[in-house]
Amino acid sequence: MTRTIDILVSGGGIAGLSAAAVFGARGFSVLCVDPAPPVRKMEDSGADLRSTAFLQPARDLLEAAGLWDRLAPHATPLQVMRIVEAGRGAPISRDFDAADLGPLPFGWNLPNWLLRREMAARIADMDRVEFRAGTGFAGLTAREDRALVRLTDGSRVAAKLVVAADGRSSAVREACGIEVRTRRYGQKALAFAVTHERPHDNVSIEIHRSGGPFTLVPLPDHEGKPSSAVIWMEPGREAERLAALPVSDFDIEATARSERALGRLHLVTGRQSWPIIMQTARTLTARRVALVAEAAHVMPPIGAQGLNTSLADVACLVDLAAARPEALGDAAMLDIYARRRAGDIALREHGIDALNRIAMAGGPLAQGLRGFGLGMMHDIVPLRRRLMRLGLGAGR
């Protein structure tokens, strides 16, 4: 028997679960599949120790799907982005405050493992949406009016639209024969969470030296102590050395790299690492298939742009589907999706690539230029506000 639905979402990460919930809230029937088992707590095998900062436009999307009410109690506001150039001499620091733009913070930060748990719980309450953890995509035959999808549990689904949200090594993208362009930086990122001596006061701190940024993003208190998520980018061999250190030694090095911005740091989770790349699919669509999130684009983790660009993909796709539900997944809809998203994705990729290359650079000249640029971006008020709006996705 082949089950007939409107949409098959391949991938049960943050983007895939968001897409399933948003499409379901618009009245579409949705099946979301992911080969990994469900994650319910931080200690579970496969738990994602990264965190996600949802910027203002992303929260609007989550609210429309009925997700935000579940997430808000766990979210930490990001009111200030503090950027520090610590390459030479006394550190240069500038604060970018969301109050310059209005009453809302820049965004809200949540641990990824908790996001997946809460999103799956919301989907379990939705009549027309199913999340099937432990089952993945196995193959696809696209026809003019639908896609026939084979799943790893042996079942088959006929869907008008397949949404590929299955990551940088997307099986759906590969099945469609879509190639990617990949740029490698020789870096790796370490993701972990820490407690620290001083409260973060809802300030996200990005510290630049060389090799890549060290970023502290506020989290709720952990066992009564102030806590932050950390993304630490370094050349690959250095990242591997850091990942292998005993916890006590790692605490010392992380504290030093943080410029003691929040006092002494103490590791409270495992350490995950992954290679930093820029990867772009050569096309965002195939017959009856739309690529979103890291199946479509992978960016270095700078400025909270990756996942928020992914949710912009989802928002665009959902708006097109809701405007003409009778044409769900047809060639005209997918052509419009590809045209609308290509420019924004390219803009953000170019910006993040430039920022990462600048952040990697060592030597007095590069460090001096970073300090000068930071001062200019902050101290020229119209430029500062323009850049903050751009970072939120409010303009180009």
Model confidence pLDDT, tens digit, residues 210-262: 788 899 999 999 999 999 999 999 999 999 999 999 999 999 999 999 999 99
Residue 280 has pLDDT above 90, yes or no: yes
Among the ranges given (50-59, 162-171, 353-362), the one the predictor scored with the smallest mean pLDDT: 353-362
Q: What local confidence, expressed as pLDDT, does residue 3 receive?
A: 93
Q: What local confidence, expressed as pLDDT, does residue 396 receive?
A: 38
Q: What local confidence, expressed as pLDDT, does residue 208 receive?
A: 87
What b-and-e string marks burial along 130-140, b requiring 16 or more CB atoms within 10 Å of the CB?
Answer: bbbbebbbbeb
Model confidence pLDDT, tens digit, residues 165-205: 999 999 999 999 999 999 999 999 999 999 999 999 999 99
Average pLDDT over residues 135-146: 96
Between CA 302 and CA 213 the distance in angstroms is 8
Banded pLDDT at 103 (limits 50, 70, 90) = confident
Provide the mean pLDDT of the chain: 90
Between CA 82 and CA 257 the distance in angstroms is 15
Residue with token string 């006394």: 90
First-last CA distance in the chain? 48
265, HSE (Cβ side, Cα atoms, 13 Å):
28
Among the ranges given (16-25, 82-91, 112-121), the one the predictor scored with the smallest mean pLDDT: 82-91
Q: What local confidence, expressed as pLDDT, does residue 341 receive?
A: 96
Residue 366 has pLDDT above 70, yes or no: no
Q: What is the β-pairing status of strands 180-196 and 147-151?
A: unpaired
Of residues 130, 132, 126, the one with CA closest to residue 65: 126
